[in-house]
Amino acid sequence: MSSVTMSAFTCNVLLSLVAATFAYVNYNGISIRQVADDVMVHGEGPFWDSENNVLYFVDIAQRRVYRLVQKSLEYVQLNGEVGFVIPVAGRQGLFVVGIGTELSGLRWNLNETTCNVIGLATVDAEKTGNRWNDAKADNDGHLWAGTMGFEDASGYIPLGSGTLYKLNDTTCFQNLEPALPNVTVSNGMAWNNDSTRMYYTDSPTRQISVFDYNSTVASISNRRVFYDFKTDNIPGVPDGMTIDTDGNLWIANYNGGQVLHVSGTTGKLLGKLKIAAKKVSSVTFGGPKLNKLYVTTISRGVTAEKFKKYPMTGKVLEVSGLGVRGMPNRRVRNKCFLTI
């Protein structure tokens, strides 16, 4: 159940280290460069803002939202673990963010040195240690946002303690709709071109699911397994994903050191993009032509020895030369935000 909260606080924008020069060629002419010198503890949720040509992403553990504006990297320090950041359509400088179990508005204009956070709703109140994880807006701007259970020091997360919520235009923040209960680590999502399918990941299942999607009412039905990591002996688990204009999926492979390219129709593995980091957390297409793949990775729990072997650990990366273009990242529709 969700409830309306009324907390608010102001924050300051901090300038981070500028984008670096480190780059190397991976294979087949694909080049990968790091866009930031900062080491992310838990980089996640990249969002390409096509209106302003700005890349947003979060560091969940450091409680930060970052933005890369040309060669300037800035961040805001929030007061809780932040799972996602998505702009609100038609509202320059307004975002929806998931902080802890609170869904909030973040006002953060380009060219401004302050920001503020407005609490909107709290979920999973009875589940201590839960927090927001990944979220996306569908092709029409309906927000889908999921939670996960508390991850202990050994990496164990209680099964089924998370929920995938939908923000609907009727009840808005008074009552977020629990669209899919009993998930452990909610991740993904992606929609195909004509919004007839939603791809979804509950990471510990090691599977990508697909639902039939009714875009008129933004509802899901008929869940089935779309891609199973067992099929191709893929290590680790699936994390964030995105979709290209061919309708194919790009899936971050946490504890697998790669991004998987999977056909969005047949579910066949098309390729593996190796990344010099084990914990690859999320991907999105960006750049003015939407032909760069941005990749976030995680450094938490990585030993100094592993850092040497995997120099892209904790980095935000830009992959060029894949020869595909992404579907644009969608903003959240303004309907529920009119008074914010």
Binding footprint of ligand NAG, residue count (CB under 6 A): 18
92-131 binders of ligand NAG (CB under 6 A): 92, 110-111
Q: Considering the complex, what minimum distance in angstroms separates the CB of residue 109 from ligand NAG?
A: 6
Contact string (CB under 6 A) for ligand NAG, positions 310-329, x = contact: --------------------
Residue with tokens 């807006």: 137
DSSP lists the bridge partners of residue 96 as 86, 105
Q: Is 187 annotated as a binding residue?
A: yes
CA torsion, ordered 200, 216, 136, 167, to nearest 10 deg: -110
Please enumerate in sequence order all residues whose Cβ is within 8 A of that of 43, keeping only pairs 6 or more positions apart, or say none: 57, 58, 59, 281, 282, 296, 297, 298, 314, 315, 316
Q: Considering the complex, what minimum distance in angstroms separates the CB of residue 243 from ligand NAG?
A: 9
Select 249 or 319, whichever has its Cβ closest to ligand NAG. Answer: 249
Does 140 interact with ligand NAG (rule: CB under 6 A)? Answer: no
- 3-state class (DSSP) for residue 11: strand
Does 182 interact with ligand NAG (rule: CB under 6 A)? Answer: yes
- 228-243 burial, b at 16+ Cβ within 10 Å, e below that, comes to ebeeeebebbbbbbbb
The answer to whether residue 239 is catalytic is yes
Q: Among 80-88, 149-157, 229-237, 245-253, which window interacts with ligand NAG (CB under 6 A)?
A: 245-253
Q: Which of 90, 160, 235, 311 binds ligand NAG (CB under 6 A)?
A: 160
Contact present, 287 and 48 (Cβ < 8 Å) = yes
Contact present, 68 and 55 (Cβ < 8 Å) = yes
Does 225 interact with ligand NAG (rule: CB under 6 A)? Answer: no
The contact set with ligand NAG (CB under 6 A) reads 92, 110-111, 160, 168, 170-171, 175, 177, 182, 193, 205, 214, 216-217, 245-247
The residues that are catalytic are 239
